[in-house]
């Protein structure tokens, strides 16, 4: 049976349609994915992300261990800062994509729910004397995203949240409960992710709902989370990448720092040409409302050149969008087609991200 987050009862009471994701029974949508998506772009949305895993690396030897585990450079992280990166295996394939926070006592990795067991086992194998705490069950994660997110969170805390730079966090209180207030998200909007003790999650959720509803905030499920992240050009592990994908081939070469101390997978990645990796990761604009989906074949000159990794309908732009992994010899100008259930549909190559939030939107 799928696990439940501390907010499961709230979701059911709100009438959510639930779905299994990463081993958890999670809200897919409360009302409609389109309405929830637009609420985040225009006002605000509240997400329960408590399925995500949180794993801390602690002790005096924490930094060398973190440096071995991630391809990005954790040495530049000051206390209160975070970075996005990938953990690679020896072949350079991606074990998981993670956000790493530095706190006074160590480093906290936020990992994908479906990867948690695999990641914890992998991290334990490479501890180099550091300690490991899997906090996933004791921490809940709530995200408030959108132009109104700052006002909503600020009204429940004395911490000046506007002063928290992007990809930083501050320990404080929200609705009277201990919380790490992080200026991060997965939607392309400004917003906050709040790490709170599991037993306090319902109280914080209720307070956010009360304040947020007055500002047009909607409860948002994983459906809107997926359409929002894809518009923003953000990757999804298991779809856009997996253990066999190197970071360059999914457009995450910017997170690989070959000149930092050695890390797992470095030798394999050093063999690759970052500007000419085994695959190119591209954006596609579909005609009208056609939706390309994960696994659909990409064609050029009637030749199979790759596969769609993620695809959806962009509620903001009003047309279908997709990302695809294609052969490196496919030129930027090449006319491409996607095999959508037996029909070759012309797709236009377009830069990522599909959507950037307008200046001043939060």
Residues near other proteins (CB under 8 A) are 17, 28-29, 32-34, 223, 227, 288-291, 293, 312-313, 320, 341
- Minimum gap (Å) between residue 223 Cβ and other proteins: 6
Please tell me the distance from the alpha carbon of residue 306 to that of residue 324, in angstroms, as a whole number.
7
Tokens of 249: 């081939």
- Minimum gap (Å) between residue 32 Cβ and other proteins: 5
Spatial CB neighbours of 205, under 8 Å, sequence gap ≥ 6: 7, 10, 46, 48, 142
Q: Whose Cβ is closer to other proteins: residue 32's or residue 255's?
A: 32
Q: Which whole-number Å values give the CA distances from 22 to 26, 145, 273, 282, 335, in the listed order?
A: 9, 22, 33, 26, 36
Please tell me the distance from the alpha carbon of residue 222 to that of residue 143, in angstroms, as a whole number.
12
Q: Whose Cβ is closer to other proteins: residue 227's or residue 325's?
A: 227
Nearest CA among 209, 289, 239, 293 for reference residue 7: 209
Q: Whose Cβ is closer to other proteins: residue 82's or residue 338's?
A: 338
Q: Whose Cβ is closer to other proteins: residue 154's or residue 297's?
A: 297
Q: 36, 219 in Cβ contact below 8 A?
A: yes
Please tell me the distance from the alpha carbon of residue 60 to that of residue 317, in angstroms, as a whole number.
49
Backbone angles phi, psi at 299, to 5 degrees: -125, 145
Helices (H), the chain: 8-13, 33-42, 62-69, 116-125, 149-154, 201-213, 222-231, 266-270
Q: Whose Cβ is closer to other proteins: residue 31's or residue 154's?
A: 31
Tell me how far apart the terminal alpha carbons of the chain are, to the nearest angstrom. 40
- Minimum gap (Å) between residue 343 Cβ and other proteins: 10
Q: Whose Cβ is closer to other proteins: residue 324's or residue 340's?
A: 340
- Minimum gap (Å) between residue 36 Cβ and other proteins: 10
Q: Whose Cβ is closer to other proteins: residue 124's or residue 289's?
A: 289
- Minimum gap (Å) between residue 144 Cβ and other proteins: 23
Q: 40, 224 in Cβ contact below 8 A?
A: yes
Backbone angles phi, psi at 253, to 5 degrees: -60, -25
- Minimum gap (Å) between residue 189 Cβ and other proteins: 19
- Minimum gap (Å) between residue 40 Cβ and other proteins: 15
Spatial CB neighbours of 32, under 8 Å, sequence gap ≥ 6: none
Q: Whose Cβ is closer to other proteins: residue 275's or residue 341's?
A: 341
- Minimum gap (Å) between residue 291 Cβ and other proteins: 5
Q: Whose Cβ is closer to other proteins: residue 63's or residue 222's?
A: 222
Nearest CA among 86, 66, 204, 149 for reference residue 362: 149
Spatial CB neighbours of 280, under 8 Å, sequence gap ≥ 6: 249, 306, 325, 326, 327, 328, 330
- Minimum gap (Å) between residue 49 Cβ and other proteins: 19
Q: 229, 352 in Cβ contact below 8 A?
A: no
Tokens of 298: 């990409």
Q: Whose Cβ is closer to other proteins: residue 303's or residue 341's?
A: 341
- Minimum gap (Å) between residue 312 Cβ and other proteins: 6
């Amino acid at each position: 049976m799928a696990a439940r987050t501390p907010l499961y009862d709230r979701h059911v009471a709100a009438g959510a349609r639930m779905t299994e994701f990463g081993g958890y029974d999670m809200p897919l949508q409360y009302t409609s994915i389109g309405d929830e998506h637009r609420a985040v772009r225009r006002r605000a949305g509240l997400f329960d992300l408590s399925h995500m895993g949180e794993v801390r690396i602690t002790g005096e030897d924490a930094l060398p261990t973190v440096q071995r585990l991630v391809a990005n450079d954790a040495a530049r992280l000051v206390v209160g800062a975070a970075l996005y990166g990938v953990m690679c295996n020896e072949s350079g394939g991606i074990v998981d994509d993670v956000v790493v926070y530095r706190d006074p006592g160590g480093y906290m990795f936020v990992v994908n729910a479906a990867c948690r067991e695999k990641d914890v086992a992998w991290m334990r194998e490479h501890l180099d004397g550091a300690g490991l705490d899997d906090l996933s069950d004791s921490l809940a994660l709530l995200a408030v995203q959108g132009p109104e997110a700052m006002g909503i969170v600020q009204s429940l805390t004395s911490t000046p949240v506007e002063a928290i730079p992007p990809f930083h966090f501050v320990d404080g209180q929200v609705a009277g409960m201990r919380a790490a207030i992080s200026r991060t998200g997965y939607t392309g909007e400004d917003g906050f992710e709040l790490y709170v003790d599991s037993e306090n999650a319902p109280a914080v959720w209720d307070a956010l709902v009360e304040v947020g509803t007055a500002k047009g905030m909607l409860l948002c499920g994983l459906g809107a989370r997926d359409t929002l992240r894809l518009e923003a050009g953000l990757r999804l592990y298991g779809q856009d990448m997996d253990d066999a994908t190197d970071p360059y081939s999914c457009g995450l070469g910017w997170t690989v720092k070959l000149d930092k101390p050695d890390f797992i997978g470095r030798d394999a990645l050093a063999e690759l040409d970052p500007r000419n990796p085994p695959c190119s990761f591209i954006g596609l604009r579909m005609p009208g409302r056609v939706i390309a989906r994960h696994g659909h074949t990409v064609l050029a000159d009637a030749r199979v050149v790759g596969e769609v990794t993620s695809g959806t309908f962009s509620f903001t732009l009003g047309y279908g969008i997709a990302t695809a992994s294609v052969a490196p010899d496919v030129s930027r100008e090449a006319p491409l087609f996607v095999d959508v259930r037996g029909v070759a549909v012309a797709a236009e190559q377009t830069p990522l991200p599909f959507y950037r939030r307008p200046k001043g939107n939060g």
